[in-house]
């Protein structure tokens, strides 16, 4: 007779005791190339993202959701929006909660889009939006019921390009995410995003540049719907080798061997006796 | 295996113990045993599809969502390629579950390869639930604002009071309030209570005690399943009731819903739910009702202890120390009585009870048919948040948990299994051949090479006997 | 508190403090809220003390000198001083290399009047954690010799190039030291070499330690309990301001990348880090980082190339340290007066109970206390500034 005491089995949390928090950042900046060419794509993207968000809520009753819009001048939470939730009655066979998500997102998104003034910045400040999302996740984790495990991740859906001007902010949010074990997923609609790809690699998230925007919803559902613990069981696009070479501060070119200032860590491609950044 | 001879009588004994344990079915177990015609009718409603979808295993949910928008059958080989090789066991299990529930069925694809296709009713209605379209759910007709709207805390108070009424009745404690004959009938039907042999009054059974130790959500779910068993005898339509129940479970707390357009049968069903505290109605004919927390997400019976809403978090009150002392911050007689099932109570103050877990007290509970797992489950479920705040991996002291399990194990030092003894083999080779065969078929219980004896379980006996005949003929 | 910076005034010379008056009961008669407030305040205070300084010693070379004398077996820290120290030190090492990825560390132990170098300067934190774990079985004997320890550290710090920031961290359990000659001479030569010495005392204040720290520009603290110990040690994680004699100079570094040739399989090779160990991991692998100068392969970064001596780092490693140089703007504390409905970052709705809210001087958004701490302790990017194109540009220029 075996006296097997499996206290581990009882104390370990089974996947059923876990809930999943998903924060979606949708880039709505009208300066993106794809939106400049065809503004209707935004409607399609919004619909796909809402359907995807609802599919996430459909997975488990405990799953949590937040959606942010990253506009050219501001980033805002469009779900759950500020103030009281809307009072929704069912109009068709859709689950009430899903209707609420759809209505709230559309209503708040409208506010964000119409608030736009004349000057348009073409660069979307995604790093800032991710920073906000991390603060939001940190609050949820702070106020959660003790003993409950929450897997959190951030999905960024964007068609803009990533510029080196946000480099420092990007790195700060990536390392924070890594520390808080928040997974960053990126779905690139247009250009290849090498900086955000580094973020995915650092936080062990998934990076996907979709070949055509018509199939956005299918790509989202196939690749980004499974939560990180399930992903290892499924066959998903393999991680791409990420280029971690540094760009020099003087010419912004990728270099293999460079010179680093011992005080301010600026990177240069040629040796000079003094550092031009800190002196 | 000296006790082989008395195996038969003990077999019956263990069977008895097993049967008397409370069997908790989840939605999958429940639906799997229903006829497919009922399932087809059920899938006609988005709410049920949603509930079934949520109860599917994780990977199955991904499969379904991947083929939700595909109109043709998908080759089985393709589906298999979605799952990592090392999890192929899980894959086949998942395929089985999906077939069992008629969520998908086999269909050949043009090339002749076997493929899977989603049940068209299920697919249509799951899409409706996710994306919209179709008819609104039956209870969501527009209502004028309630001038006496009830807030969430009122509903919580109401539902807790109603449900505890049932529990109090079961333990027969003093705070008794009348519960209807219907409820009593269900308790009796479920085997949670039985008629006393002397005076015919209902008394609690050992399953009843086990029931009390479940968490509230599981209690409601178990109770409702028992209720649904009797629904057809009452002349109500099972599919209709189930549909309504799931609609209710997906409603929003604190919102009122309309009874307009509900059939006579459903109105009766609603009154029953009202009695158990799943819905609140001011008056029978109010035309509106409020679902309570008990009715929400009833199917999540597997996700024990995970609150759906933040404020839903159970208020734990039990602290267990490594010295086996238990402190329970409660003033409820019911909770004290439950704790008393497996602890020796030492002191009682207005807001706290102090007890100690002893070998005797646990054995007492075990004798009463409660398992160690259930005791631990109960402690875990009601653990004080203070104990969770630190390193939450070992919220309860592991020493106490292990000891409780050891106390249970010491009652089961022997395993009885019925078998047939084979002995007096003429040669070692004969013995070896037969032993090897029995081992391969997996029916060998015990063997001894020196004495050339072996015991084969009863189901394998015929098989082994046949083999032996073939074998000895061949020689 | 032991961290009185001013050595002239002793605690008993200050006015009589009624410490209990700072603690107030809340409406239900609980103290929790009040205590939590005191902790929060302390956290904020520490944060505000962080000065913006663009000249920091980023390439740190730190020697940890650990007392392994008889005094470390005392049980005032649980289970013993040594075990408690090693546990905290382990976390410290991890945090140190996390925050200072291009820095190096070495470990020296003092026991039986001798100093022994058990780890040379290096950058592989796994090795240090392993060493520290191995120290649990050290025999705690005799007296420590502070002078021997310092001299040993100095001997190797002396050789470092002038751009390196040299530091010594002494963890001292003993109240005595047994030195071969005049320790003041050692202290002055440390001062001369620009070595910053900090001391954490586990027992009581010792004059010679105070002197050492004061002379060399380090800090001296005596712990109150284990959590205070941890706090004090963690203060050493942030890079110190650059010493006066520290020159900035450019150091050659390599940024290796994986060799990816389209369409071809990478060859199976052995990495240099595991080439002469027979442990797990010394297998032939495909991926890896190749030194751009000599093409030796390494499986982990940062590392110093074994064959050509080039420091190999990846760009994110450097970026991890940028926040020390460019910290997020600090927030102003202000009374809550319905300036905003909710916290800009975490969306928490401000209630009556939030007496103070915080506002960024750059982007003028409002934040709650928790976000204030989160942003400045972990995130290092103000969400308000980073989402606003105008402040974002300001920040860049």
C205 and C347 belong to one structural domain? no
CATH number of the domain where residue C371 is located: 3.30.40.10
pTM given for the model: 0.80
* pLDDT tens-digit map of A218-250: 999 999 999 888 888 888 887 777 777 777 777
Q: Which of C155-164, C205-214, C271-280, C351-360 has the highest mean pLDDT?
A: C205-214
pLDDT at C200: 93
Q: What would the mean pLDDT of B51-68 be, rounded to a whole number?
A: 90
Q: State the total domains in chain C.
A: 2
Boundary of a domain, candidates C183, C199, C234 = C234
pLDDT at A4: 39
Cα A68 to Cα A22: distance, rounded to the nearest angstrom: 11
C223 and C370 belong to one structural domain? no
Instruction: Look at residue C182 and tell me whether its pLDDT is greater than 70.
Output: yes
Strands (E), B19-83: 74-75
Q: What percentage of chain A reaches a pLDDT higher than 70?
A: 91
* DSSP of C339-373: S-SB-TTT-PBP-TT--EEEEETTT--EE-HHHHH
Q: What percentage of chain C reaches a pLDDT higher than 90?
A: 22
Let me know if residue C326 belongs to a domain: no
Question: Which domains, ranges and CATH numbers included, belong to chain A?
Answer: 18-231 (3.40.50.410), 245-279 (no CATH)
Confidence of residue B333 (pLDDT cuts 50, 70, 90): confident
Average pLDDT of chain A is 83
Instruction: Look at residue C201 and tell me whether its pLDDT is greater than 90.
Output: yes
Let me know if residue C172 belongs to a domain: yes
C227 and C89 belong to one structural domain? yes
Let me know if residue C206 belongs to a domain: yes
pLDDT at A56: 94
pLDDT at B356: 94
Whether A27 and A124 have beta carbons less than 8 Å apart is answered as: yes
C58 and C207 belong to one structural domain? yes
Confidence of residue B346 (pLDDT cuts 50, 70, 90): very high
Q: What would the mean pLDDT of B252-279 be, rounded to a whole number?
A: 85
C72 and C203 belong to one structural domain? yes
Give the residue numbers spanning the domain of C387: 332-396
Boundary of a domain, candidates C234, C265, C296 = C234
Query: B437-446, C121-130, C365-374 — which is least confidently predicted?
Result: C121-130
Let me know if residue C182 belongs to a domain: yes
C226 and C338 belong to one structural domain? no
Instruction: Look at residue B58 and tell me whether its pLDDT is greater than 50.
Output: yes
Average pLDDT of chain C is 80
* DSSP of B199-219: T--EEE-HHHHHHHHS-HHHH
Cα A201 to Cα A243: distance, rounded to the nearest angstrom: 10
- Smallest CA–CA distance, residue B241 to chain A, in Å, is 18
Confidence of residue B261 (pLDDT cuts 50, 70, 90): confident
B308 contact residues in A (CB cutoff 8 A): 61-62
C354 and C222 belong to one structural domain? no
pLDDT at A131: 94
C71 and C220 belong to one structural domain? yes
Question: Is A179 in contact with C321 (Cβ distance < 8 A)?
Answer: no
Instruction: Look at residue A26 and tell me whether its pLDDT is greater than 90.
Output: yes
Confidence of residue B183 (pLDDT cuts 50, 70, 90): confident
Q: Within 10 Å of residue B437's Cβ, how many Cβ atoms? A: 19
Q: Within 10 Å of residue C263's Cβ, how many Cβ atoms? A: 5
pLDDT at A17: 61
Let me know if residue C48 belongs to a domain: no
Let me know if residue C303 belongs to a domain: no
Boundary of a domain, candidates C213, C234, C255 = C234
Question: Is C381 in contact with A169 (Cβ distance < 8 A)?
Answer: yes
CATH number of the domain where residue C121 is located: 3.40.50.410
Let me know if residue C377 belongs to a domain: yes
Question: In a mutagenesis test of the A interface, which of B71, B131, B397 is the best target, namely the one with the most A β-carbons within 10 Å?
Answer: B131
- Smallest CA–CA distance, residue A52 to chain C, in Å, is 23
Where b means 16+ CB within 10 Å and e means fewer, C58-76 reads bbbbbbbbbbbbbbbeeee
* pLDDT tens-digit map of A101-123: 999 999 999 888 887 665 667 77
Q: Do chains A and B touch (3 or more CB pairs under 8 A)?
A: yes
Q: Do chains C and A touch (3 or more CB pairs under 8 A)?
A: yes
pLDDT at B64: 93
Average pLDDT of chain B is 82
* pLDDT tens-digit map of B135-153: 878 776 667 777 777 788 8
Chain C residue with minimum CA distance to A120:
C389
Instruction: Look at residue B7 and tell me whether its pLDDT is greater than 50.
Output: no
Instruction: Look at residue A137 and tell me whether its pLDDT is greater than 90.
Output: yes
Greater pLDDT, C53 or C10: C10
Question: Is C318 in contact with A255 (Cβ distance < 8 A)?
Answer: no
Instruction: Look at residue A275 and tell me whether its pLDDT is greater than 80.
Output: no
B53 contact residues in A (CB cutoff 8 A): 58
Confidence of residue C4 (pLDDT cuts 50, 70, 90): very low
Length of chain A: 279
pLDDT at C149: 93
Strands of the sheet with A267-268, listed across from one edge: A267-268, A257-261, C250-254, C311-312, C303-304
pLDDT at B6: 30
Instruction: Look at residue C62 and tell me whether its pLDDT is greater than 60.
Output: yes
Let me know if residue C293 belongs to a domain: no
C80 and C208 belong to one structural domain? yes
pLDDT at A47: 93
How far, in Å, are A274, B214, B316, B398, C128 from residue B366 at the CA level? 80, 16, 24, 19, 51
C363 and C228 belong to one structural domain? no
pLDDT at B65: 93
Instruction: Look at residue B67 and tell me whether its pLDDT is greater than 80.
Output: yes
Cα C94 to Cα C88: distance, rounded to the nearest angstrom: 10
Confidence of residue A11 (pLDDT cuts 50, 70, 90): very low
Name the neighbours of C, counting chains with at least 3 Cβ pairs within 8 A. Answer: A
DSSP summary character for residue A183? E
Confidence of residue B314 (pLDDT cuts 50, 70, 90): low
Q: What would the mean pLDDT of B192-214 be, rounded to a whole number?
A: 81
């Amino acid at each position: 007779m075996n006296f097997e005491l499996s206290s581990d089995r009882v104390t370990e949390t089974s996947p059923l005791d876990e809930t999943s928090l998903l924060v979606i950042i949708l880039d709505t900046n009208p300066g993106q190339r794809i939106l400049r060419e065809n503004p209707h794509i935004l409607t399609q993207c919004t619909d796909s993202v809402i359907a995807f968000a609802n599919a996430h809520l459909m997975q488990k009753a405990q799953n949590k959701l937040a959606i942010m819009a990253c506009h050219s001048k501001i980033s805002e939470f469009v779900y759950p929006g500020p103030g009281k939730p809307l009072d929704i009655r069912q109009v068709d066979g859709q689950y009430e909660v899903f209707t609420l998500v759809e209505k709230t997102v559309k209503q708040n998104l409208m506010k964000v889009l119409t608030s736009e003034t004349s000057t348009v910045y073409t660069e979307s400040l995604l790093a800032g939006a991710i920073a906000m999302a991390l603060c939001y996740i940190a609050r949820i984790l702070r106020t959660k019921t003790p003993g409950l495990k929450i897997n959190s991740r951030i999905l960024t859906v964007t068609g803009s390009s990533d510029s080196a001007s946000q480099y420092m902010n990007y790195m700060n949010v990536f390392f924070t995410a890594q520390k808080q074990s928040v997974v960053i997923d990126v779905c690139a609609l247009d250009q290849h995003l090498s900086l955000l790809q580094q973020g995915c690699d650092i936080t062990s998230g998934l990076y996907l540049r979709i070949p055509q925007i018509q199939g956005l919803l299918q790509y989202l559902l196939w690749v980004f719907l499974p939560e990180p613990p399930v992903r290892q069981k499924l066959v998903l696009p393999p991680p791409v080798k990420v280029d971690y070479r540094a760009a020099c501060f003087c010419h912004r070119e990728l270099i293999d061997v460079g010179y680093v200032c011992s005080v301010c860590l600026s990177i240069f491609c040629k040796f000079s006796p003094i550092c031009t950044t800190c002196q | 295996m000296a006790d082989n001879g008395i195996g038969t009588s003990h077999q019956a004994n263990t069977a008895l113990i097993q049967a008397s344990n409370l069997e908790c079915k989840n939605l999958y177990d429940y639906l799997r045993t229903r006829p497919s015609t009922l399932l087809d009718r059920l899938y006609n409603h988005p709410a049920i599809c949603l509930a079934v979808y949520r109860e599917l295993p994780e990977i199955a949910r991904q499969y379904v969502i991947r083929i939700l928008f595909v109109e043709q059958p998908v080759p089985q080989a393709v589906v298999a390629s979605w799952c990592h090789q090392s999890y192929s066991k899980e894959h086949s299990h998942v395929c089985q579950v999906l077939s069992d529930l008629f969520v998908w069925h086999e269909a050949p694809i043009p090339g002749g390869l076997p493929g899977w296709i989603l049940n068209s009713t299920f697919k249509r209605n799951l899409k409706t639930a996710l994306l919209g379209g179709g008819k609104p759910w039956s209870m969501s007709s527009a209502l004028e604002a309630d001038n006496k709207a009830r807030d969430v805390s009122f509903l919580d108070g109401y539902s807790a009071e109603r449900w505890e009424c049932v529990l109090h009745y079961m333990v027969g404690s003093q705070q008794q309030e009348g519960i209807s004959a219907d409820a009593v009938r269900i308790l009796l039907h479920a085997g949670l209570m039985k008629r006393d042999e002397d005076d015919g009054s209902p008394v609690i059974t050992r399953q009843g005690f086990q029931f009390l130790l479940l968490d509230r959500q599981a209690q409601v779910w178990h109770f409702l399943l028992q209720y649904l068993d009797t629904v057809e005898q009452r002349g109500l339509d099972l599919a209709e009731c189930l549909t309504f129940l799931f609609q209710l479970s997906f409603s929003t707390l604190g919102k009122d819903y309309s009874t307009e357009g509900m059939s006579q049968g459903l109105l009766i069903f609603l009154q029953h739910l009202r009695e158990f505290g799943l819905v609140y109605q001011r008056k029978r004919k109010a035309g509106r009702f409020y679902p309570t927390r008990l009715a929400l997400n009833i199917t999540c019976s597997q996700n024990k202890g995970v609150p759906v809403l933040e404020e839903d978090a159970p208020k734990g009150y039990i602290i267990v120390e490594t010295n086996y002392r238990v402190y329970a911050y409660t003033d409820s007689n019911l909770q004290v009585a439950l704790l008393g099932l497996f602890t020796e109570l030492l002191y009682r103050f207005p807001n706290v009870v102090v007890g100690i877990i002893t070998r005797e007290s646990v054995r007492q509970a075990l004798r009463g048919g409660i398992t160690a797992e259930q005791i631990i489950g109960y402690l875990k479920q009601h653990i004080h948040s203070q104990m969770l705040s630190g390193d939450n991996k070992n919220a309860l002291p592991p020493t106490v948990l292990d000891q409780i399990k050891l106390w249970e194990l010491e009652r089961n030092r022997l395993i009885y299994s019925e078998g047939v003894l084979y002995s007096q083999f003429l040669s070692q080779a004969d013995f070896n051949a037969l032993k090897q065969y029995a081992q391969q078929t997996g029916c060998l219980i015990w063997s001894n090479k020196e004495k050339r004896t072996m015991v084969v379980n009863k189901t394998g006996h015929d098989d082994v006997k046949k083999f032996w005949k073939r074998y000895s003929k061949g020689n | 508190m032991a961290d009185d910076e001013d050595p002239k005034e002793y605690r008993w010379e200050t006015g009589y403090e009624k410490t209990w008056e700072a603690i107030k009961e809340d409406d239900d008669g609980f103290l929790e809220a009040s205590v939590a407030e005191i902790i929060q305040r302390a956290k904020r205070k520490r944060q505000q003390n962080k000065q913006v300084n663009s000249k920091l010693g980023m390439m740190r070379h730190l020697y940890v000198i650990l007392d392994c004398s008889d005094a470390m077996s005392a049980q005032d820290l649980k289970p013993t001083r040594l075990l408690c120290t090693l546990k905290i030190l382990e976390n410290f090492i991890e945090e140190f290399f996390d925050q200072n990825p291009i820095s190096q560390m070495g470990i020296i132990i003092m026991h039986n009047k001798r100093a022994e170098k058990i780890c040379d300067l290096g950058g592989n934190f796994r090795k240090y954690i392993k060493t520290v774990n191995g120290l649990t079985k050290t025999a705690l004997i005799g007296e420590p010799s502070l002078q021997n320890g310092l001299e040993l550290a100095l001997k190797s710090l002396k050789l470092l190039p002038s751009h390196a920031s040299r530091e010594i961290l002494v963890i001292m359990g003993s109240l005595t030291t047994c030195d071969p000659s005049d320790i003041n001479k050692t202290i002055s030569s440390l001062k001369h070499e620009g070595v910053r010495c900090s001391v954490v005392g586990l027992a009581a204040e010792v004059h010679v330690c105070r002197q050492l720290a004061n002379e060399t520009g380090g800090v001296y603290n005596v712990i109150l309990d284990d959590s205070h110990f941890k706090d004090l040690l963690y203060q050493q994680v942030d890079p110190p301001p650059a010493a006066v004699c520290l020159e900035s100079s450019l150091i050659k570094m390599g940024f290796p990348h994986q060799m990816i040739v389209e369409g071809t399989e990478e060859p199976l090779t052995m990495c240099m880090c595991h080439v002469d160990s027979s442990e797990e991991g010394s297998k032939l692998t495909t991926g890896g980082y190749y030194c751009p100068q000599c093409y030796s392969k390494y499986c982990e970064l940062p590392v110093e190339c074994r064959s050509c001596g080039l420091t190999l780092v990846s760009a994110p490693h450097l970026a991890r340290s940028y926040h020390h140089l460019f910290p997020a703007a600090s927030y102003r504390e202000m009374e809550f007066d319905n300036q905003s409905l909710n916290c800009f970052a975490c969306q928490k709705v401000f209630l009556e109970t939030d007496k103070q809210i915080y506002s960024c001087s750059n982007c003028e958004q409002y934040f709650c206390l928790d976000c204030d701490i989160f942003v400045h302790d972990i995130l290092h990017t103000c969400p308000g500034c980073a989402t606003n194109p105008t402040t974002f540009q300001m920040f860049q220029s």
